[in-house]
Chain A
Amino acid sequence: MHELSLCENIVASIEEAALKEHFNAVVVVHLGIGKLSCVEPEALRFCFDTAIQGTIAESTQLVIEIFPGLAQCNHCGANLEIENYYDACSHCESFDLKILGGEQMQIESLEVM
């Protein structure tokens, strides 16, 4: 459900860009999704097909690039890649991590005509 709402937001952003940039069709939408964001790429794909019906983005191809979760341990200073917020530092087991990346849910670019 929440993925459908995200897709409606994506379509709204595309429609807004269409008014500003004067394009008639969108060939590809590029998204950047961080591993730590709460977006499930497969659910997003599923909802996207429904959300684009009857809009300027109809029959657009969806390309999703996944970014890893990056963190620095506040305890031992190590830089790590994590899968979840509850992961521990792989060096010292501390849970006190500073998140450095992988939380994004972005529309990176559009290929339009």
Chain B
Amino acid sequence: MCTVCGCEDKHGHPDSVAGNGALAVDKSVSRTLTLEKNILEKNNVYASQNRSFCYSKQILSLNFVSSPGAGKTSLLVDTINSLKSDFSINVIEGDQHTSNDADKIRATGASAVQINTGKGCHLEAHSVGHAIKDLQPAQQSLLFIENVGNLVCPAEFDLGELAKVLILSVTEGEDKPLKYPHMFRAASLLIINKIDLLPYVDFDMAQCVRFARQVNPSIDVICLSVKTREGVLPWFEWMTTQQTKMNREPD
């Protein structure tokens, strides 16, 4: 039996109650049941389990979101190579198809689990919980979750991470915070990547940051290039700050 959710290893739970189309509906005998329950409660329950597990082991868990190709995997590979001598690092890779990204992560020596969502356009907390169980992350390790490249749905699905890190590359245009406000609202950190390409594109950095803060006044912003490694130090410092905060004020 699956210990994440007690689901007997078949994951369409809860067990389907058969529909009863044949039943005659007499409205006079209906009663009202008050639920007042978040639509995503099932996901949120799994997310809280993941979160308390990470807190209990002081694991820094980050959920990386971006549009396809903004540089999530590249940043993870660089980060792992820079930090692997100091930390145990595990990665959960979400893609609709292929294990390309998990393969790139494993090439660094870090452990990775690939979740293929098939037609699904975002990761959900339940499958992330299973992946965490498979990875068995150590005390005070780092857990990076690379979500499916999509600036829409991953905003709404809590995975139990400590923070969402949103990567936007300068080739995507400075208006993205206004076009995808939910994602920019949900993120704690905005990384503006590929600044080595700034001379070749009309990207207004100051305007982009203004738009991001218009949607989310408290969002942190770091500009960097994974390619040239300009600006990567503030990113590592940001993670250290999060670790300190987490250890000071548990959930």
Partners in one complex: yes
Partner of B35, one of A5, A88, A107: A107
> Which chain A residues (10-54) contact chain B, with CB distance < 8 Å?
10, 12-13, 15-19, 21, 23-25, 27-28, 31, 38-39, 53-54
CA distance A13 to B39 in the complex (A): 8
Residues of A within 8 A of B152 (CB): 2, 38
Q: Is A62 an interface position by the 8 A CB rule?
A: no
Q: Is B164 an interface position by the 8 A CB rule?
A: no
Residues of B within 8 A of A56 (CB): 17-20
Contact (A1, B36) CB under 8 Å given A15-B16, A59-B21: no
CA distance A10 to B41 in the complex (A): 9
Q: How far is the CB of A35 from chain B (nearest CB, A)?
A: 12
CA distance A5 to B25 in the complex (A): 28
Q: Is B155 an interface position by the 8 A CB rule?
A: yes
Contact (A86, B211) CB under 8 Å given A1-B153, A108-B36, A110-B35: yes
CA distance A19 to B16 in the complex (A): 10
Residues of A within 8 A of B217 (CB): 95-97
Partner of B42, one of A9, A23, A54, A108: A9
Q: Is A106 an interface position by the 8 A CB rule?
A: yes
- Count of residues in A whose CB is under 8 Å from the partner chain: 46
Q: Quick check: B17 and A110 within 8 Å, CB to CB?
A: no
> Which chain A residues (63-113) contact chain B, with CB distance < 8 Å?
84-86, 88, 95-97, 104-113
CA distance A104 to B39 in the complex (A): 9
Residues of A within 8 A of B34 (CB): 108-109
What band does the interface of chain B fall in when counting residues whose beta carbon is under 8 Å from A? Answer: 35 or more
CA distance A25 to B213 in the complex (A): 47
Q: Which residue of B lies closest to A84 (CB)?
A: B181
Q: Quick check: B215 and A109 within 8 Å, CB to CB?
A: no
Q: How far is the CB of A33 from chain B (nearest CB, A)?
A: 9
Binds A, one of B57-65, B80-88, B115-123, B135-143: B115-123
Q: Which residue of A lies closest to B122 (CB)?
A: A2
Q: Quick check: A5 and B17 within 8 Å, CB to CB?
A: no
Q: How far is the CB of B15 from chain A (nearest CB, A)?
A: 8
Q: Which residue of A lies closest to B37 (CB)?
A: A107
Residues of B within 8 A of A28 (CB): 30
